[in-house]
Amino acid sequence: MRSYSMRDVERVLRLSPDTTRSLIKAGFVKPARGARGEYRFSFQDLIVLRTARALSDAKIPARRIRRSLESLRRELPESVPLSGLSISAVGDHVVVRDGDTQRQVDSGQYLLGLDVSVENGVLRVVEHREPAPSATATATATTGTTGDWFAQALTLESSDPEAALTAWRHAVNEDAGNAAAWTNWGRLLHERGRNAQAAEVYRRALAKVGPDPLLLFNQGVLLEDLGNPAAALAAYQSALAEDPDLADCHYNLARLYESLGQQQRAIRHLGQYRRLLSGDTG
């Protein structure tokens, strides 16, 4: 069965890593782990994530969201059928239909409307929007708000990374307190091999935002790649001081301590990582 990475979640669902992690932390989805401890998502996980985001944005209570998602999982196949799928959320009620079945939810009544298909082996998830946006929405879109730059950057990352970098820069210029935009900007620079620029972005971000755990975690990953394990350890430890339940951080610390020959510390963090994965945080 095919699995999907965090980058696939960004590309297909337009969800930033921090949003995805928050939905995982809330217990809405429990992805598997790959060989290096990274998240691996099933097709069902992707659809549940996108639906959870829509219901959460609509202020549906968490207990009702979980109940709806449990029902959704029971209806979802393990992979996309040839005919595709149509998924709608009305209030906290989620409906899954075969793609050949006409949608019966009137425009404007649903919180979420997705068409899911596979084209040339690539999963596509298309969200339905209102056909005629309001004048207020149109005016907002033309002013280049932070949300617009953020969404634009996520959209561009797979097709035009350089344009995405520009959009991330605009997003943080519009709102210097947007930790997610800083995090994604630094991550993309790191992925593009522009490590010195990524280091400067993280430095500026932490000065503007403060000790955000995901910023610190990403900074730690970069510092490891820059060959500075001591600074990486400090960044990871600072991240855990802000969010002790950041499982990936425990995993990286365990691996780093092991490479430094500090076995007891490695075992302690690996044990915490496994407890977080199992849901046993007591």
Summarised one tens digit per residue, pLDDT across range 140-188 is: 333 444 457 877 787 777 678 899 899 999 989 988 888 888 988 998 8
Q: Do domains 6-127 and 139-243 have the same CATH topology?
A: no
Quote the pLDDT of residue 38: 84
- The rounded distance, in Å, linking the Cα atoms of 221 and 185 is 14
75 near 37, Cβ under 8 Å? no
Confidence band of 37 (pLDDT split at 50, 70, 90)? confident
166 near 194, Cβ under 8 Å? no
Quote the pLDDT of residue 90: 61
Quote the pLDDT of residue 135: 32
Looking at every residue in the chain, the average pLDDT score rounds to 78
- HSE value, Cβ hemisphere, 13 Å, CA-based, for 165: 15
Confidence band of 59 (pLDDT split at 50, 70, 90)? confident
Quote the pLDDT of residue 91: 61
Comparison of pLDDT for 176 and 26, the residue scoring more:
176
Quote the pLDDT of residue 194: 92
- The dotted CATH code for 6-127 is 1.10.1660
The arithmetic mean of pLDDT across residues 61-73, rounded, is 78
Strand order through the sheet with 93-98? 93-98, 85-90, 112-119, 122-127
- The rounded distance, in Å, linking the Cα atoms of 247 and 185 is 22
86 near 128, Cβ under 8 Å? no
pLDDT for residue 92 is more than 80: no
Residues 22, 26, 32, 37, CA torsion sign: positive
pLDDT for residue 210 is more than 60: yes
The arithmetic mean of pLDDT across residues 220-225, rounded, is 92
The arithmetic mean of pLDDT across residues 101-116, rounded, is 50
Most confident by average pLDDT, 92-101, 135-144, 181-190: 181-190
Neighbours of 23 (CB within 10 A): 20
- The dotted CATH code for 139-243 is 1.25.40.10
Quote the pLDDT of residue 7: 82
Q: Where are the domains of the chain?
A: 6-127, 139-243
Quote the pLDDT of residue 98: 64
